[in-house]
Amino acid sequence: MPDGRLTYGELDSTSAQLATRLPAGPLALWATPSVATVVGLLAALRAGVPLIPINPKSGDMEIAHVLADAAPRATLASAHAELPAALAALPRIEVSGGAGPGAAARTSAATGPSAATGPSPAADTSAREPPEEIPALIVYTSGTTGMPRGVVHTRRSLMSNLDALAEVWGLTSADVIVHALPLFHVHGLVLGTIGPIRLGAGVRHLGRFDVESVTKALVADSGVLFAVPAMYHRLVAAAEHDRDVAGALRRARLLVSGSAALPVDVHHAIQRLAGRRVVERYGMTETLIIASTRPQERSRPGYVGRPLPGVRVRVRDERGADVPADDETIGSVWVRGPSVFGAYANGRQPAAEAFEDGWFATGDLAALASDGALRLVGRQSTDLIKSGGYRIAAGEIESVLLSHPAVSEVAVRGVPDAELGERVVAWIVPAGGRHAEDGELIDHVARQLTPHKRPREIRRVDSLPRNELGKVQKQLLDRAAPPLGRA
């Protein structure tokens, strides 16, 4: 961590001491990239107290919503953390950072898991362990389709998912997980922190992402890199001119991307520059990780792989029937497995239409390949476009536009149209030094997909609106660029 280093022995003793002081939950966790966050997380897990990670960049309205929704009794934070007024009004439970500032930026397995008596309660099978079915984390969604919802995950859902990922990715105690992901969400907190601690592996959190820090960390540890597409985009741009960056990517044992689709051109660039393939995985707050490509198998850009062990996936059409595994027919993704959540904060149940005989509707759209691999094409709420009687997946159009050399980034969405119902509109970030007329881009799509999938309108923007996990917020696209006329 940027503010210090803990061995497993230190993490064990520090979190054990804190666990004895925790009241019944739920408790808020001020989730900064710090040793205090990791100690607070492990203390709550071993005490069996539900924890609510709070994004340090949250605004007053967002924090007020979480406090009213989940009603935490106190806040876990270091003594030096400056909390917003709403959180500061709660009792503060001070978390010791253990090792002092200036130590190596790493929570490490330097002394080996044998030095600890079970720093991760998930790894401890002793009789004093809390029951597996009690709530462990209440993680709030990104709120891209409304106010964020607090998703309750039990210890069992966390353990089952992390064990399945360790099996698929071949993770062991010898690995060092390198990342700069935020610790208030599933990717950084569960996969990037609880996961390696459960295995007795090392964690090197960089605090914030920058190419130089990632390069140094991968060179030092030959680690496993967890990152989002925007980070890989920056690494590729640097590797084009810096052999050290390309060498660090080549040295990594495993490169994993998630939280959003990795563009095909980035896939190919990493393969060309570093001789490595990126493993993509697919999940959401309500389900944890559903599917992943396998490191030992042929990587296909645009595919997120097959379901994890113990997870079942269906792709269904509008009538509820399973679509054929023809890699073409689009349907909605349903999932069933031990990592799927059961309730929201305060015991609220999901909408009835979200569950059917134990199957959860993810809201994502995908096609199914013959080998069971999923090819995601977007969200049903924002990426399914109904135009002229056709059902069109925005993700297919985005992939084609990204293959054009004049397009750096793209987002496609349907907008209301009196004649068509919805028309296909593409927001593009032009590639530096390149230009293409609207007609050229539209024809580029029409040549590779059926003509009705071509954009009817192109809007150029300097950047796409994204959240902290790198996901494009399509509901904000209209603010990014005014209409320029229809094609």
Question: What sign results for the dihedral spanned by CA atoms 58, 60, 64, 65?
Answer: negative
143 is a domain residue: yes
What letter would DSSP give residue 263?
A: P
Tell whether 47 and 140 lie within a shared domain. Answer: yes
Domain harbouring 473, CATH code: 3.30.300.30
Regarding whether 188 and 46 lie in a shared domain, the answer is yes
Counted domains in the chain: 3
How far apart are alpha carbons 111 and 47 in whole angstroms? 24
CATH number at residue 69: 3.40.50.12780
Burial 49-74 (b: 16+ CB within 10 A, else e): bbbbbbbbebeeebbebbbebbebeb
The pLDDT value given to residue 146: 55
* Same domain assignment for residues 13 and 91: yes
State both tokens at 176: 């060092």
Dihedral pair phi/psi, residue 202, rounded to 5°: -90, 155
Task: Indicate if 107 and 24 belong to the same structural domain.
Answer: yes
| Residue 213 included in any domain | no
pLDDT in the model for residue 53 = 96
Per the structure, the complete domain to which residue 440 belongs is given by 384-480
> At CB < 8 A and 24+ separation, what contacts does 81-85 make?
81/30, 81/32, 81/36, 83/30, 84/58, 84/60, 85/60
Domain boundary among 379, 400, 416: 379
| Same-domain status, 28 and 117 | yes
First to last CA, the chain: 51
User: How many whole angstroms separate alpha carbon 57 and alpha carbon 216?
Assistant: 27
Q: Is 225 a member of any domain? A: no
324 lies in some domain: yes
Nearest C-alpha neighbor of 156 from the set 359, 344, 341: 341
Question: Which of 146, 178, 208 is at the close of a domain?
Answer: 208
Whether residues 396 and 375 fall in one domain: no
Residue 10 located in a structural domain = yes
| Per-residue CA distances from 29 to 34, 136, 288, 327 (Å) | 12, 12, 20, 43
Low-confidence residues of the chain: pLDDT under 70 = 97-127, 142-147, 389, 468-470, 480-487
Do 198 and 93 share a domain, yes or no?
Answer: yes
Do 25 and 117 share a structural domain?
Answer: yes
Whether 215 is covered by a domain: the verdict is: no
- What local confidence, expressed as pLDDT, does residue 121 receive? 39
- CA–CA dist 457, 473 (Å, integer): 19
Query: Looking at the domain assignment, is residue 90 inside a domain?
Result: yes
Q: Does one domain contain both 430 and 372?
A: no
| The one-letter amino acid at 365 | L
Q: Which CATH number do you get for residue 361?
A: 2.30.38.10
- Residue 274 falls inside a structural domain: no
Q: 174 and 32 in one domain? A: yes
Same-domain status, 347 and 389: no
Instruction: Give me the pLDDT at residue 116, please.
Output: 29
- The residue among 379, 407, 434 that closes a domain is 379
Q: Are residues 24 and 136 in the same domain?
A: yes
**Other Cβ atoms closer than 10 A to 348:** 12
